[in-house]
């Protein structure tokens, strides 16, 4: 089951689209984060909640103070803690910028494992990444060599070991480090790069 957390401002269109994407894919609950003192914000919230009621989806709201970053981070941090172990998607396509940044800060500080999605204003593109992509990494030259080898198509520990001439035990440790830091994933014995790894390779070429 999936819980959708969505930031909301004066317009609910992005949140409605997010619900539409996840409805039928195990969506069990929607949590709306925002400030609802303004009439326009309340109307957007009411419209979204009416839609969720029609679909039979459980929902709740987390009201935050947009003038108090601590309030945003603490309330969202407590929400994330209460959802630990569940599949959580955070949609940041709408709402006030300061609330969006506060939600991101809470995710990073809590080291919450969530999927994050942001839709462009023209609805043409949906960017999706994991919270792990936001976490800092510690890489050596050997780590970078392994990442580049995987990019070149060497997707097993043995093939990386042969391609780089790196001792097998060292190759195994470097791959484990990369997996632990969210840079590499393994599926059916094959290694692949995450978005975070691709970015790190590109940034490393300028360092």
Domain end marker among 73, 108, 131: 131
Query: CATH number of the domain that 47 lies in?
Result: 3.40.50.11700
136 located within any domain: no
Domain end marker among 98, 131, 164: 131
Domain count, the chain: 2
**pLDDT digit string (tens) for 42-79?**
999 999 999 999 999 999 999 999 999 999 999 999 99
CA 127/CA 130 separation, integer angstroms? 10
11 located within any domain: yes
Instruction: Report pLDDT for 188.
Output: 92
User: Do 24 and 126 have their domain in common?
Assistant: yes
Determine the structural domain holding residue 37 and report its residue range.
2-131
Average pLDDT over residues 167-177: 96
pTM recorded for the entire structure: 0.82
Residue among 146, 132, 147 at smallest CA distance from 180: 132
Query: CATH number of the domain that 154 lies in?
Result: 1.10.10.10
192 located within any domain: yes
Average pLDDT over residues 139-154: 96
Average pLDDT over residues 15-40: 96
User: Do 108 and 178 have their domain in common?
Assistant: no
Instruction: Report pLDDT for 135.
Output: 84
**pLDDT digit string (tens) for 77-103?**
999 999 999 999 999 999 999 999 999
Burial class (CB in 10 A: 0-12, 13-18, 19+), 141: exposed
User: Do 106 and 147 have their domain in common?
Assistant: no
User: Do 118 and 172 have their domain in common?
Assistant: no
Cβ-contact 19, 52 below 8 angstroms: yes
User: Do 158 and 183 have their domain in common?
Assistant: yes
Domain end marker among 131, 162, 194: 131
User: Do 98 and 189 have their domain in common?
Assistant: no
User: Do 64 and 121 have their domain in common?
Assistant: yes
74 located within any domain: yes
């Amino acid at each position: 089951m999936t819980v959708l957390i969505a930031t909301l401002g004066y317009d609910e269109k992005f949140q409605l689209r997010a619900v539409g994407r996840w409805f039928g894919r195990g969506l069990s609950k929607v949590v709306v984060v925002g400030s609802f003192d303004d009439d326009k914000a309340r109307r957007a919230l009411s419209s979204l909640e009416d839609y969720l009621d029609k679909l039979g989806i459980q929902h709740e709201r987390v009201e935050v103070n947009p003038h108090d970053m601590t309030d945003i981070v603490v309330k969202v941090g407590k929400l994330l803690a209460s959802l630990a172990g569940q599949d959580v998607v955070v949609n940041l396509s709408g709402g006030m910028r300061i609330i969006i940044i506060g939600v991101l800060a809470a995710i990073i500080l809590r080291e919450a494992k969530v999927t994050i999605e942001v839709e462009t204003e023209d609805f043409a593109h949906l960017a999706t990444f994991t919270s792990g992509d936001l976490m800092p990494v510690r890489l050596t030259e050997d780590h970078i060599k392994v990442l580049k080898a995987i990019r070149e198509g060497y997707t097993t520990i043995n093939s990386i070991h042969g391609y780089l001439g790196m001792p097998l035990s060292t190759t195994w440790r470097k791959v484990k480090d990369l997996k632990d830091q969210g840079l590499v994933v393994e599926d059916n014995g094959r290694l692949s790069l995450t978005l975070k790894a691709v970015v790190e390779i590109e940034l490393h070429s300028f360092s």
